[in-house]
Structure 1
Amino acid sequence: MRMLAYCDEDLSVAAGGARQVLDLAAALTQRGHEVTIVAPQPIAPIEVPADRLRMQPVPVVRGGAIRPLSFLLGSMKVLGGVIRTWRPDVFLWFDSPGQLAPLRVLRHHECPVVYFVNGLPEEEVQGLWRWAPIRQALSYGLRRAAARAQAVVTVCPEICKSFGTRERARCTVIRNGVDPVRFSPQSHEEARAKLSISGTGPYIGFVGGFFPWHGLETLIHAVPMVAESYPGLQLFLVGEGRTKGALEDLVQRRGLGAHVRFVGRVEFDAVPAWVASFDVCVVLHQRTRSYPGDSMKLWEYLACGRPVVTTAGPGYGDTVEAMGAGLSAKADDAEDLARQLRRLLADRAVRAAMGERGRTAVVQSHTWAARAAQLESVCRRVLSREELAA
């Protein structure tokens, strides 16, 4: 199949949305498909990960509200040209709140649409974007796009339930995945030496964006309770995000500077080493929105063979406990989180066994290759329905 992908992500930035687009596209090419990606001109060069993958950048004006408007106008022209000359079999429209260029372009070109929804913009946008008319416009755009699509793909079932009856019937859950070659087990010692990590440990870590739904305040509140048993404890917070300032203030107020280190954003190639350096990885979910989403970092932790402590419930605790790859803690409960962390830190053999089980489960069923096979099935069903309707 010829697949045209559209997204409003800077694909040179190693954020979750960009990784989903690039890794899924690369995995699709490994299955024999041709993929062209229409996306904003990146701020840094991108290494195209597959021979049958082609990038079609859209020049954008960077800065404030001008940037999304420039991509809207520029992508209409680029999309129209690619669809007219390349004639894709299916259009993969990745989560791009407010970017409705495909709706206008597809009025003049027939092409089945698979629409990806990773989150609901009215529950996630911040700052000026939270102004009611803007949130309503974003929500309207999402509903219009979902209604136009022949299939909708989401990362968790709760998002499917937010749609109307017609869209729910066409909704498929395809969770995030991981590249098990890039994210593979390394020894603690080698990773710590590479990163110049010193101290007695133990080491707990989080890698990802700092957002309200990640519950990092609860993790910081748990640190002194764990440190009572492990005075050399270090928590590494690797990443950046909107809650970083508040988290730094919390660490200062609690006097935890000796135990908590803010690493900052690191190159994507360095992430596996950071994960490997941890004795226990943490990924939490705070209920600030109506759906849990699907944490890409969870799959990366598991692929690296590290045990995980996460929040009890769908998409998190249910996943690691079913695999036997970690423990779950009650939501927003620092005492229970500390209790689960101490349980794992107390037994190296248990941690190793959990890490092995998590790695095995991921390689068997949760790679980007497995997700690409699911997406291919969705596309083939869409094309079959289109042929029957013709």
Structure 2
Amino acid sequence: MKERPHIAYVCADRGVPVGGYKGASIHVGELVRALLESQADVQVIAARVADPIDPLFLPAPVVDVGGSKPARQARHVLYAGATTPKRRERASEVRALLLNQPMAKAIERLNGSWGIDGIYERYSLWSFAAAGVARALKVPYVLEVNAPLVDEQRRYRHLANEAAAADLEGYVLRSADRVVVPSRQLADFVCSHGVRRGAVRVLPNAADPGRYDPRAVARRRRERAYRSRFTVGFVGSLKPWHGIEHLLRAFRMLHRRWDGYRLLVVGDGPLRRPLEKQARAMGLADAVEFTGGVGHREVPALLARMDVAVAPYARLSGFYFSPIKIYEYMAAGVPIVASDIGQISEVLEHRRTALLQKPGAISELADRIDELRRHPALAGRLAAEARRKLCRSYTWKRNAKRVLAMMRQIEREKHG
């Protein structure tokens, strides 16, 4: 493999607008940027592309397969007769399968004009084009798996062709030279589908510490600004499993204790309107701010307004997430209160890098937040240690270097 390898990053997930501001979109952009900074050339092949793309977070060329004329025509024909919800769901699955043909052609064209040294794919339901092309070209193929997608689709949405989806999932997983997962729990899932343990690598999510300035939060502590106002913050999508309803109930308890508390909720999602209504009903409208969806470049400044950042995940069986918010909180130097669950318990240590609480324990969540307000020295120590740990172990650049090392090792295994 050449000193500056050509990596094709493939994302066939139509739910991930490459270059946009969804959590998954940010993950794509951050890793691509880190690969570029680690002396690789990267081009992205995607099923959906944001308009416009923020070049700060995705500074690589992008091939928009989903926006091509054949893909648009296929969508029009498929959905023309899909007059019921079930028919639209089936049409969506067929559309995803049909997308493999233009996706494969796009990868082959890129190889012909540019020369591909390795393929890195963000796994998506129904996608198998990259696996087939990588095998044909005999180039390293690394598959990133962020969720048990067949299980999720069946449980939370609808899956018309479950057997086909499961068979394709197994084929793609076993076709990869290496499977990258962000958590130990997902490594177990991948191995249960026939992938050998030696082919699996755990790369937790990360943050870029250079984008965050922890001095703003530390300055407020030194100046004791928290004596008149103390801002509790949350960053992320407003969905049930993130525990945002628990945070609002804990905040009501805190505000009753002291009216200087403020709550800053950064993000959007299906719970936003119900939560705004609930905050008004609780008499907290003047103390709670919902920003709605924001661009990723706005997040550092919003984190700098927070005196404590919270990840109040609900109690969930099989918690496999690697929450990007945790790493952003660490990078920003904001003291953290988080649920003691899954990877959070592995990354954060209670009373060393954060205060942890039992998932769903609302009174305990309120008490942990209040403790950090009453003990600013503790808050400062936890935040500083968390940022040091982030800089040592959880950066996108570190992940990118590990990916490139994998690619080179696979190349040696294939060609000697």
- Per the normalisation by structure 1, the TM-score is 0.87
Cα shift readout 1:302-340 (whole Å, capped 9, x = no counterpart): 111111000113321442217822100001110111111
SS at match of 1:133: coil
Q: Aligned with 1:282: secondary structure?
A: strand
Matches of 2:102 and 2:213 in 1, distance apart?
A: 39
Larger deviation, residues 107-116 vs 308-317: 107-116
Task: Provide structure 2 residue ranges, at least 5 long, that are not aligned to the other structure.
Answer: 77-87, 221-225
Other-structure match for 2:377: 349
Structure 2 counterpart SS, 1:181: helix
Counterparts of 1:196-211 in structure 2, within 5 Å, are 200-211=228-239
Is residue 20 of structure 2 the alignment partner of residue 13 of structure 1?
yes
Q: Are 2:72 and 1:45 aligned?
A: no
Please tell me whether the aligned partners of residues 266 and 294 of structure 2 are also in contact (alpha carbons under 8 angstroms): yes
Secondary structure at the aligned position of 2:201 is classed as: strand
**C-alpha separation between the residues in 1 aligned to 2:26 and 2:411?**
26
Determine the structure 2 residue equivalent to 1:185. 214
Matched, 1:4 2:8: yes
Counterpart residue number, 1:160:
187
Q: Is the 8 A contact 1:28 1:369 kept in 2?
A: yes
Amino acid at match of 1:46: D
Which residue identity does 2:170 align to in structure 1? R
Q: 1:337 & 1:49 partners in 2: Cα distance?
A: 34
Q: How many residues align?
A: 381
Contact 1:285 1:311 in 2 (8 A): yes
Structure 2 residue aligned with 1:194: none
TM-superposed CA distance for 1:107, in Å, is 5.7
1:240 match: 268
Percent of aligned positions with the same letter in both sequences? 24
Residues 1:286 and 2:314 are matched in the alignment? yes
Whether the 8 Å CA contact 1:281–1:301 is kept in 2: the answer is: yes
Secondary structure at the counterpart of residue 331 of structure 1:
coil
Indicate the residue corresponding to 2:205 in structure 1. Answer: 176
Q: 1:308 aligns with which of 318, 336, 339?
A: 336
AA in 2 matched with 1:342: D
Letter of the aligned partner of 1:171 in structure 2? V
Matches of 2:291 and 2:227 in 1, distance apart?
A: 16
Deviations 1:139-192 (A, max 9, x none): 44332211110110000010111133434331110011111111222414999x
Distance in 2 (alpha carbons) for counterparts of 1:107 and 1:378: 17
Q: 2:175 aligns with which of 144, 148, 169?
A: 148
SS in structure 2 at match of 1:204 = strand
Q: Find 2:137's aligned residue among 103, 106, 109.
A: 109
Aligned pair in 2 of structure 1 residues 272, 126: CA closer, same or farther (>3 Å)? farther
Structure 1, residues 114-145: CA drift from partner, whole Å, max 9, x if none?
00001112344489x72243555444433221
Amino acid at match of 2:284: L
Whether contact under 8 Å (1:5, 1:92) holds in the other structure is yes
Match of 2:33 among 17, 26, 29: 26
Aligned twin of 1:223: 251
User: Residue type matched to 1:272 in 2?
Assistant: P
Conserved in 2, the CA contact under 8 Å of 1:223 and 1:259? Answer: no
Amino acid in structure 2 at the alignment position of 1:185: P
Residues 1:379 and 2:407 are matched in the alignment: yes
TM-score w.r.t. length of structure 2: 0.82
Do residues 321 (structure 1) and 325 (structure 2) align?
no
Q: Is the CA contact (8 Å cut-off) linking 2:19 and 2:57 kept in structure 1?
A: no
Matched, 1:338 2:366: yes
Q: What secondary structure is seen at the aligned counterpart in 2 of 1:257?
A: coil
Residues 16 and 138 of structure 1, relative CA distance in 2, 3 Å threshold:
farther
What runs of 5+ residues in structure 1 fail to find an aligned partner? 192-197
> 2:42 pairs with 15, 32, 35, which one?
35
Match for 1:44: what amino acid?
P
Contact persistence 2:183–2:202 (CA under 8 A): yes
Secondary structure in structure 2 of the residue aligned to 1:370: helix
Letter in 1 for 2:311: V
Tell me whether 2-11 or 325-334 shows the greater mean CA deviation: 2-11
**Which amino acid in the other structure matches residue 322 of structure 2?**
D
* Corresponding residue of 1:195: none
* 2:374 aligned with 1:366: no
Tell me which amino acid in the other structure corresponds to 1:3: I
Task: Please state whether the residue corresponding to 2:189 is helix, strand or coil.
Answer: coil
**Superposition deviation, residue 239 in structure 1:** 0.5
Structure 1 residue 93 corresponds to structure 2 residue 121: yes
Q: Which residue type is aligned with residue 201 of structure 2?
A: T
| One of 276, 288, 295 as aligned partner of 2:304 | 276
Are 1:214 and 2:242 matched, yes or no?
Answer: yes
State the secondary structure of the residue aligned to 1:237.
strand
Per mean C-alpha deviation after superposition, the further-off stretch among 138-147 and 65-74 is 65-74
